[in-house]
Amino acid sequence: MSEQQRHDTEYGKTGFETRAIHAGYEPDPTTGAVIPPIYATSTYKQDGVGGLRGGYEYSRSGNPTRTALEGNLAALEEGERAFAFASGLAAEDTLVRALCRPGDHVVIPDDAYGGTFRLFDKVERAWGLEYGSAPVSDIDAVRAAIRPGATKLVWIETPTNPMLTIGDIEALAAVAHDAGALLVVDNTFASPYLQQPLTLGADVVVHSTTKYCGGHSDVVGGALVVRDAEIAEKVGFHQNAMGAVAGPFDAWLTLRGLKTLALRMERHSDNAERVVEFLTSHPQVTEVVYPGLPEHPGHAVAARQMRRFGGMVSFRVAGGEAQALAVCDRARIFTLGESLGGVESLIEHPGRMTHASVAGTDLEVPADLVRLSVGIETADDLVADLAAALEG
Ligand SMILES: *Cc1c(COP(=O)(O)O)cnc(C)c1O
């Protein structure tokens, strides 16, 4: 066992906040630096041919700043190992190549993140991978979408985007495993603070660390966290062989973000609850979609598998698309923009923005829907901003 592994095992027994701050990096033995340096180096001096100091030979294969991030993410998701990538989609593509072959089949959510759907539909399908889709909330539909023998992965998101549908991770892991498939959970919306899929039976966790993990809207990145050594071996080989790795500065920013993940997710959840309370009683709002609401169809499952319900809220307005667009335009503190999970509140119109490409398909979202990524500003200011935008 290496020094670093011993260190991570020690932190494995500690609480989430302690792991978020310490796991993956030991203060530098020569300088004492408490935070890992940004190792902006492509290569490493060898002490004689093959004499590697600390195991590094070339930064695609390994870089100490990236190693620190990967150790931290593995500890937070309680996985065997983590791997950091240039983006969430780069992580997804690497995972598919590592675990599937042309002719294999995967099941994806019928409301998968748009980029994930495009990856499977346009890129992996051209390579020979087949896919079917099912709503993650319907266990029988997921079971029916599996092709015995051919399905290698059951791939879910929970909560999904933008309708915040909830999938039962434990039950879906059993369904996947019964069919000889693995369960992959895209944990981007919940983050490891709110939900740890590997502890519920999932085999692989996918992150767009661009969102809550990074948390400051200043870096694009992705990650895979795996449950066992055999999958780790395959993913590690493909990370190096395909090369879509996180650069050292991106890894550093993401690690810096993760240190405050627990605090941020608590405040995101507090503020979302305040916003939900305001929207539910507003006469211009016809429906509020939030897994924390008892009337949300996934509430019971979410309450079981999530620590809290997070910062994403969707709602529908009485005045149809015109009002939904006007609310997006009039909001001031809620910045009009795509993406999510940063400290600043964002507002968007899924029908015209993030989900414009699925118009006319089964994935089409209601035109009167507005999606919020509730940030960590003063809750009263957020409520006042939405009140003004709705009054207009
Ligand atoms: C953003 C996102 C992705 C894609 O990640 P990128 O970092 O943009 O490549 C995948 N899944 C979900 C749920 C996302 O929100």
Nearest Cα residue to atom 8 of ligand 1? 88
* Pocket lining for ligand 1, CB < 6 angstroms: 87-89, 113, 115-116, 157, 161, 186, 188-189, 208, 210-211, 220, 222
Testing ligand 1's pocket by substitution, the residue of 92, 204, 206, 208 carrying the most ligand atoms inside 8 A of its CB is 208
Strands of 227-365, DSSP E: 285-289, 312-317, 335-336, 346-348
Testing ligand 1's pocket by substitution, the residue of 92, 204, 211 carrying the most ligand atoms inside 8 A of its CB is 211
Total Cβ atoms within 10 A of residue 353: 15
Determine the distance separating the centroid of ligand 1 and the alpha carbon of 184, expressed in angstroms. Answer: 14
Testing ligand 1's pocket by substitution, the residue of 92, 155, 164, 210 carrying the most ligand atoms inside 8 A of its CB is 210
Determine the distance separating the centroid of ligand 1 and the alpha carbon of 170, expressed in angstroms. Answer: 23
Q: Is 377 exposed, middle or buried (0-12, 13-18, 19+ CB in 10 A)?
A: middle
Looking at the CA of residue 161, tell me the nearest atom of ligand 1: 13
Determine the distance separating the centroid of ligand 1 and the alpha carbon of 50, expressed in angstroms. Answer: 38
Residue 284 backbone zone (phi > 0: left; psi -120 to 50: alpha; other: beta): alpha
pLDDT in tens, the chain (392 residues): 566 666 666 777 799 999 999 999 999 889 999 999 999 999 999 999 988 888 999 999 999 999 999 999 999 999 999 999 999 999 999 999 999 999 999 999 999 998 999 999 999 999 999 999 999 999 999 999 999 999 999 999 999 999 999 999 999 999 999 999 999 999 999 999 999 999 999 999 999 999 999 999 999 999 999 999 999 999 999 999 999 999 999 999 999 999 999 999 999 999 999 999 999 999 999 999 999 999 999 999 999 999 999 999 999 999 999 999 999 999 999 999 999 999 999 999 999 998 887 788 877 899 999 999 999 999 999 999 999 999 97
184: helix, coil or strand? strand
Fill in the amino acid letter for 4: Q
Q: How far apart are CA 49 and CA 53, in angstroms?
A: 12
Nearest Cα residue to atom 7 of ligand 1? 88
Q: Is 211 a catalytic residue?
A: yes
Q: Is 25 a catalytic residue?
A: no
Complete DSSP assignment for 51-62: --STT-SBTTT-
Q: What is the pLDDT of residue 355?
A: 87
Residue 125 backbone zone (phi > 0: left; psi -120 to 50: alpha; other: beta): alpha
Residue pLDDT, tens place only, 83-129:
999 999 999 999 999 999 999 999 999 999 989 999 999 999 999 99
Nearest Cα residue to atom 4 of ligand 1? 88
Q: Compute and round to an integer the Cα radius of gyration of the chain.
A: 21
State the span(s) of the chain assigned CATH 3.40.640.10. 3-258
CATH number of 262-391: 3.90.1150.10
Q: Which residues are CB-neighbours of 207 under 8 A, at least 6 positions away?
A: 73, 88, 91, 186, 187, 188, 213, 222, 223, 224, 225
Q: Is 131 a catalytic residue?
A: no
Looking at the CA of residue 90, tell me the nearest atom of ligand 1: 9
Q: What is the pLDDT of residue 351?
A: 93
Q: Which of 11, 56, 113, 212 is catalytic?
A: 113
Determine the distance separating the centroid of ligand 1 and the alpha carbon of 159, expressed in angstroms. Answer: 13
Q: What is the pLDDT of residue 7?
A: 67
Q: How far is CA 330 from CA 271, 297, 348, in A?
A: 20, 31, 11
Looking at the CA of residue 209, tell me the nearest atom of ligand 1: 7
Looking at the CA of residue 157, tell me the nearest atom of ligand 1: 13
Residue pLDDT, tens place only, 164-189:
999 999 999 999 999 999 999 999 99
State the span(s) of the chain assigned CATH 3.90.1150.10. 262-391
Q: Is 329 a catalytic residue?
A: no
Q: Whole-model pTM? A: 0.96
Determine the distance separating the centroid of ligand 1 and the alpha carbon of 199, expressed in angstroms. Answer: 22
Helix H or strand E encompassing 89: helix 88-99
Tell the CATH topology of 3-258.
Answer: Aspartate Aminotransferase; domain 2 (3.40.640)
Contacts 24+ apart (CB under 8 A), 128-132: 128/101, 128/102, 128/103, 129/96, 129/100, 129/102, 129/103, 129/104, 129/105, 130/103, 130/104, 130/105, 130/106, 131/105, 131/106, 131/107, 132/105, 132/106, 132/107, 132/108
Helix H or strand E encompassing 390: helix 379-391
Determine the distance separating the centroid of ligand 1 and the alpha carbon of 345, expressed in angstroms. Answer: 18
100 touches 154 (CB < 8 A) = no
Sign, CA dihedral 12-82-21-31, equals positive
Q: What is the pLDDT of residue 121?
A: 95
Determine the distance separating the centroid of ligand 1 and the alpha carbon of 152, expressed in angstroms. Answer: 22
